Amino acid sequence: MSDKTTVIALAGKGGVGKTSLSAAIVRLLTEAKPDARILAIDADPAIGLSVALGVTVTETLDEIRLRVAEDVTGKLKDTQDILAEARFRLFEAMAEEEGFAFLAIGRPEAAGCYCAINTYLRQVIGLLTDEFDYVVIDGEAGIEQINRRVMEKVTHLVCVSDQSRKGLSIIDTIHSVADKLVMYDKIGLIVNRATLPDRVAPATEGGVPVIAVIPQDNAMTENDIEGRSIFELPADSPVLTGARTALTALGIL
């Protein structure tokens, strides 16, 4: 990871709006920093970020992984050759949109072990971040990606939760695990879809500073139902306003 690259990873339980907030962050960055190189990575197998950003996915990272695995099976290839080949294919698979690039991780196959190839591709992703000024990662629900060190090096870890006790308890777990396994510079919590926003009293939750409280956003819900992208959402919508508040608190905007 380049010292100049800002890597923003979102984590939390399922159903709290991580994908919508990831998309909102990408939109805000493209608007505020039109000359910046921005990469959005969908690390959730459901590939919901592509819909939220209005991106058509033609090939996922896992499909590339399988193709590279097939190509090197039974062949003696130098590690650097495999790395270069995987990196080239990643750039090929990347969707180039107005103001940002997009890469989907995809749904891993259950059978087979490609530990070596996964290691190569993790290195490739590390190389990819050097090509961008900002990387936004929409993480898989729960803490597994943090446990597996998928998000080992990020500059900003953004935890997302609703007001439920279950959601907030997972934030405490994410924080404690991340402190051991993730090298982050800043961490913050967005309380999203708050049905009682005035009751979010503590400045911290689970040891994580609260950087934004976002009420239920009906415009965002309608956007999702209609299958429209985040770029069609009104600029004053709660999700965009809250994401802007969070990025400002983190010193990104």
Q: What are the sequence ranges of the domains in the chain?
A: 6-249
pLDDT 10s digits, 175-188: 988 888 888 899 99
Question: What residues form DSSP beta bridges with 41?
Answer: 103, 137
Asked whether 112 and 73 are in contact (CB, 8 A), the reply is no
Based on the number of CB atoms within 10 Å of its own CB, is 216 exposed (0-12), middle (13-18) or buried (19 or more)? middle
Q: H helices within the chain, ranges in order?
A: 18-32, 48-53, 61-72, 79-93, 115-129, 144-147, 165-181, 218-226, 238-249
Query: For residue 98, which of 38, 57, 18 has the smallest C-alpha distance?
Result: 38
- Tell me the percentage of the chain whose pLDDT exceeds 90: 41
pLDDT at 99 over 90: yes
Asked whether 99 and 9 are in contact (CB, 8 A), the reply is no
Give the model's pLDDT for residue 17.
Answer: 92
Give the model's pLDDT for residue 79.
Answer: 56
> How is domain 6-249 classified at the CATH fold level?
Rossmann fold (3.40.50)
pLDDT at 104 over 60: yes
